[in-house]
Structure 1
Amino acid sequence: MPNQTYFLGIDGGGSKCKARLEDAQGNLLAESIAGPANPVRDRQLALSSIQQASQEAIELAGLPASTLAQTYAGIGLAGLNLPYYKNTMQEWQHPFAGLALSTDLHIACLGAHNSDSGAIVIVGTGSSAIVCKDAEQFEYGGHGFLLGDKGSGAWFGLQTVRWALESFDGIKPSSPFIEAVCRFFGCTDAAPLVEKHLASSPAEFAKLAPLVFEYAEQQDPVAAAIVQEGAAYLSALAQQLLSHKPQRLAFIGGLAHKIQPWLDEDIQHSLRAPFQSPESGAIILARKQFQVLEKAL
């Protein structure tokens, strides 16, 4: 359909890139998933994942590849709150009819509250938070794996490996959880654990998060201590968001449902279920840009 307009929403994170394709009437045509899309860590990989997810969504919808030229895309990526990385992405010679770029936080907030007003904490491979209120955005956390991301999947994995190494040194106690970690990696001393993780990515560390929560829920003292420390930080982050008096607060991301029972009780009572996904929020962003361009004609 040569005169049809399409809208593509993309949520790019440290572990994967998710895309949602809709027609002009808002009907879902296809969804797809590709690899990591964090331009701070690897711009070329991020672009490759975005292109793969976009092309796959078009193919799954049964549309020709040329449809991308009729598609307005909204893309939210980690790291685009930093001017340098946003500028490099804006230089991309994209294949779309129009492109609206923002942070993964912004599109997630748009989707969670179906509006420009609300607050979210993202708990996935990384962690970060945002309040959108009165056309302003206030971002917290999200400083990357080396400098922040506390309470995230990658952080839980990193704390686990650190604890295991210190238990090998006799500095910290072991537990059934630490024993399970050693079985997971097939190691009986520190050397293979160090070799495995010296150059590991955040996504690789995050693979340990389900094991942390599995044992924390069984009251393993080590796993519970790690989860409690992460949850305390996320509760403090949520309190900071609530100081802005947002209309709604939601926790989203792959670990959101796991961490919620560990949050401070008042934070748990403040939470509301997200309305839509981050990629749906990216489509809201794309439609807004399309409306602006239409008015300018």
Structure 2
Amino acid sequence: MDGSGIQYVVGLDAGGTRTRARLAEAATGRTVGEGLGGPGNALSVPAEALVRHLAEALREAGAGALPVAAVVGGFAGGGPGGGREKARAALTGALAQLGAAPGRVEVRGDAEVAFAAGPGAPADGLVLIAGTGAAGARVRERRMVAAVDGDGWLLGDAGSGFWLGREALRAVLRALDGRGPETALAEPVGALCGGLAKERIVGYAYGAHPVRLAELSPLVVRAAEAGDAVAAGLLDRAADELAGTVRALRPVAGEPLVVTGGLLGPGGPLLGRLAERVGELGLRPSPVRDGVGGAVALARLPVS
């Protein structure tokens, strides 16, 4: 507590692109401060960088200036059997840098905090994330009990931003060598790669970490909005993949389905397409901006 007797909690949503932190009053949930840091994927971000990114977000939110009773961090790659211990060590280290000593520090998977961000902070149902990567999960009593995809850029993340970026490059390569139809994606891809030649495009794809291809997903969205059939087809396929992830979780008609990430959050370019597909399953997606509100909600819960 500070001099006013108010208790504070912190929620974090550490994703593949950035880390968000929120400092809030424990009793009311009123936001006191927010902060941003670098990528927080517990599997792919080096340990020292992960500590630094978490500390950036926590410091900007004000976590070092007020006494914090509880911290809940949701991490991409932070599920059981994944990078949970690495995430816990990084979060503890970041809090120590700020001189914060909360009574409770809890690490969750990003799916758990995203689900808790849904309307009414639900305890049971489904969550689907589609941003840089993509994953679905079933949550029961606020714990993930089943997961689908989230297998990373090499093995999965079907329908994600990375998936769309990769498919955009493949579509342009096929248009260039005659294996596929012409597409308006060629012009922006050529500008990005420094020329519309196979060597340029392949060099761009292999010249940095593959996850960078997620940055191309907005090109697909813009081309589809302008009427390009190839780009629209990629968005349809991405939505099909994500709907398939939901189906694999054996949904029950009417149960909560919380969706988030750059592609499915409020106003997301795949939200309408997904809604059509899961509507056939008796589901209605509830989009949330991110999981930081859910992390705060979990931090405010009494210890069971």
TM-score scaled to structure 1, two decimals? Answer: 0.86
Partner of 1:194: 202
Q: Find the aligned partners of 1:266 and 1:206 in 2 and give their Cα distance.
A: 23
Q: How does 1:239-254 map to 2 (within 5 A)?
A: 239-244=247-252, 247-254=255-262
**CA RMSD of superposed structures (Å):** 2.4
Q: Which has the higher helix share?
A: 1
Q: How does 1:1-297 map to 2 (within 5 A)?
A: 1=2, 4-25=6-27, 26-42=29-45, 43-58=47-62, 65-67=64-66, 70-92=68-90, 93-94=92-93, 95=95, 96-97=101-102, 98-113=104-119, 114-133=121-140, 137-201=145-209, 203-244=211-252, 247-256=255-264, 257-263=268-274, 265-268=276-279, 270-274=283-287, 277-288=290-301, 291-292=302-303
Q: Find the aligned partners of 1:40 and 1:82 in 2 and give their Cα distance.
A: 12
Q: Find the aligned partners of 1:264 and 1:115 in 2 and give their Cα distance.
A: 20
Which amino acid in structure 1 is aligned with residue 284 of structure 2? Answer: L
Report if aligned partners of 1:112, 1:277 keep a CA contact under 8 Å in 2: no
Report if aligned partners of 2:169, 2:201 keep a CA contact under 8 Å in 1: yes
Deviations 1:69-102 (A, max 9, x none): 5342110001112525212233444324131101
User: Cα 1:198–1:275, aligned 2, differ >3 Å: closer, same or farther?
Assistant: closer
Q: Where does structure 1 lack aligned partners over 5 or more consecutive residues?
A: none
Q: Where does structure 2 lack aligned partners over 5 or more consecutive residues?
A: 96-100
Number of equivalent positions: 285
Q: Find the aligned partners of 1:276 and 1:213 in 2 and give their Cα distance.
A: 19
Q: Find the aligned partners of 1:37 and 1:264 in 2 and give their Cα distance.
A: 29
Which amino acid in structure 2 is aligned with residue 117 of structure 1? Answer: D
Q: Find the aligned partners of 1:266 and 1:156 in 2 and give their Cα distance.
A: 18
User: Cα 1:71–1:197, aligned 2, differ >3 Å: closer, same or farther?
Assistant: farther
Deviations 1:38-58 (A, max 9, x none): 121123322211111001110
User: Cα 1:30–1:12, aligned 2, differ >3 Å: closer, same or farther?
Assistant: same
Bigger shift: residues 169-178 or 11-20: 169-178
Report if aligned partners of 2:164, 2:238 keep a CA contact under 8 Å in 1: yes
TM-score scaled to structure 2, two decimals? Answer: 0.84
Q: Once the 2 structures are TM-superposed, how far is the Cα of residue 282 of structure 1 from its aligned partner? A: 0.7
Q: Once the 2 structures are TM-superposed, how far is the Cα of residue 202 of structure 1 from its aligned partner? A: 5.2
